Each structure stands twice: as structure tokens, then as C-alpha cells.
Structure 1
Amino acid sequence: MRYRRANVPGGSYFFTVNLAERRLRLLVDHVALLRTSVQRVKKSHPFYIDAFVVLPDHLHAIWTLPSGDADFATRWMLIKSGFSRQIARDERINASRRRKGERGIWQRRYWEHSIRDEQDYQRHVDYIHYNPVKHGYVSRPADGAHSSIHRAIAKGMLESDWGVGGLVEDRGDVGER
């Protein structure tokens, strides 16, 4: 079966990308390597990061691609492989991955969703910013260390107490797969 992905040139997309072993903390333990990998890919394959959060075992992002470009798959492949090359080779690798010469750091697939409209966009941005609270890592979204919420607060788009005390509407589970 061929896996079909959304294809909206110049569109905005929401992503969930997971580690293969969800018990690991590779993403926060090596967040500088992840940032480097993302920045390198942005230079060669431009895109705008609308929102981003990095948790120990997964990340969420919203990207807007350049006009006429819908190739987020290449960008994720380059980010994941660039990050993986910088990590020590001590992960568990199953037989299938070993036969294909693959590392065992990332889940092979990731979740993507083509943003439909402004309400959908805002719902997913809120989800990203609230995710560290949802998973119990922090009690306030602004306390999340690796979140674009800090950029939104600095630009005056959100207050530093956003998401505290029920300020975030429960919009359901938009991104955990």
C-alpha cells in the first residue's frame, strides 16, 4: 500500500514526529543538535516555522512552505537523518531496520495535517504551546523550555500567563498519534 500525504503547495502543515523508543529523552538531551539540523535544512530548503515544541520523545511543529512548494517530506527526512548522524550509535535496532541499514532513533512515519483555515491554524498553535502542560512536564505553557511560545510572548501575541487556570479552550486531541 502506498502511503498518501497531503500536498498543498505553499501551505501550512501541522506535524507530530516521534522517537522510535518513546521512553528516551534524546530530543531534549540533544536539543542543540536538533536545532542545528533544522537550521541547516531551512537554509537549503526554506520554510517558516510558525510554531514548534520539543518534548523528550516527540515534537510538534507547524510549518508554512514557500509558494509552489509542498515537499515537507524531504525536509523531515533531512532533519531526522541530520540529527541521527550526530547521535551515538547505541540505540536498539530491530531486524527490519538493520536489513535496510536504518538507525532506530525515529519512528519511520510521522503525522501531518494540512491546515485548513485560520481556526484550524489557531487550534494547532494552541495545542503545540499547551503540549508540555498536557504531558505533565510543566505547570504553565510559558515554562516549557523548548517552545515557540516564548517567541509569541516576546512579540506580544500571548501573555506570559496564557494557558494558566483554564484560559485554553479544550480543543480535543489534534496531534497525538
Structure 2
Amino acid sequence: MTAHALDAIRFWDTKRWTVHAAVVMPDHAHALVRPLPLDTTDVTAREFYSLPELTKSVKGYSARAINRRQGRSEALWQDEGYDRIVRNDRELEETWGYIRFNPVKAGFVAEPELYQWLYSAGRAD
């Protein structure tokens, strides 16, 4: 499940959102993303890709792939999601660190980079 979910998150990276960090845990996932403008050539863009639609795409793709692999057809993701706006550099760094250290805090690995289903684009800037 984790590989399909991380693949789905990364699929839209640089196309419809920028993924700064993402981690897929056995029972949940976190992603620090920035939706991209619908028109990437417009430096004053006011219209961006929809975060709920991107999240729905990630959940749909990964659920279909997992169900196909396991020969099932059932709901895998909860309908709700929790998103919030990161308002400043301090919150960005804190969120980025929280995502990276989630597998460490859960006791899966000693260092974030040892967790197979962590994607980190480097620094969160």
C-alpha cells in the first residue's frame, strides 16, 4: 500500500503541485505540498490546482492499484482529510521536520532517511 500511495503523491510533483516532503505510514500519510498555478507561465497567477482534487486523485489511484494487486474492491481511504495553510518559514520548517521524523517517532527507523516511504525534496524553502 505504501509504495502505491507514495507513487501517487509524487506523480503530480512539478506538474500540479510541488512536493516538499511526504511520508506514507501504515495507517496514514502526510504531505507538504504547494499547489501550482493552472497557468505556469503567469507569474501573477491567482488560480491554482485544487488541493481537494489532487488529494482525491492520489487516494483514487492508490486505492485502485492496491485493490487490483490484492484482488479486492473496497474503500481504503477515509473520506476526510486534514489540511492547513502554512503561513511562514517557521511553520514550513516545523511541518517539514514533523513529516520527516514521523517514522522515527513511530519507532520504525532510527533516522528519517532510512524509511523507505519517505520523500523529501531537500530543504523546505
- The TM-score normalised by the length of structure 1 is 0.55
Which residue in 2 is equivalent to 1:61? 31
SS of 1:145 mapped into structure 2: coil
Q: Aligned pair in 2 of structure 1 residues 114, 70: CA closer, same or farther (>3 Å)?
A: farther
Q: Distance in 1 between matches of 2:103 and 2:35?
A: 26
Q: How many residues align?
A: 110
Counterpart amino acid of residue 66 in structure 1: L
Q: Aligned pair in 2 of structure 1 residues 89, 104: CA closer, same or farther (>3 Å)?
A: farther
Which residue in 2 is equivalent to 1:47? 17
Which residue in 1 is equivalent to 2:40? none
**Cα deviations by residue, 1:35-89 (Å, 9 ceiling, x for unpaired):** 443355x28x611101111212211111111232151000111111111112235
Q: Which has the higher helix share?
A: 2
**Cα deviations by residue, 1:89-133 (Å, 9 ceiling, x for unpaired):** 547xxxxxxxxxxx3201111111111110000000000111001
SS of 1:63 mapped into structure 2: strand
1:79 pairs with 2:58: yes
Q: Distance in 2 between matches of 1:111 and 1:85?
A: 22
Any runs of at least 4 consecutive aligned residues in structure 1 with deviations exceeding 6 A, and if so which?
Answer: none
SS of 1:148 mapped into structure 2: strand
Counterpart amino acid of residue 111 in structure 2: R
Q: Distance in 2 between matches of 1:125 and 1:51?
A: 6
- The TM-score normalised by the length of structure 2 is 0.75
Which residue in 2 is equivalent to 1:172? none
Q: Distance in 2 between matches of 1:35 and 1:130?
A: 16
Partners of 2:6 and 2:24 within 8 A in 1: no
Which residue in 1 is equivalent to 2:92? 121
Counterpart amino acid of residue 52 in structure 2: A
Q: Distance in 2 between matches of 1:36 and 1:129?
A: 17
Q: Which has the larger radius of gyration?
A: 1
Partners of 2:104 and 2:112 within 8 A in 1: yes
Q: Which residue, out of 84, 88, 103, partners 1:132?
A: 103
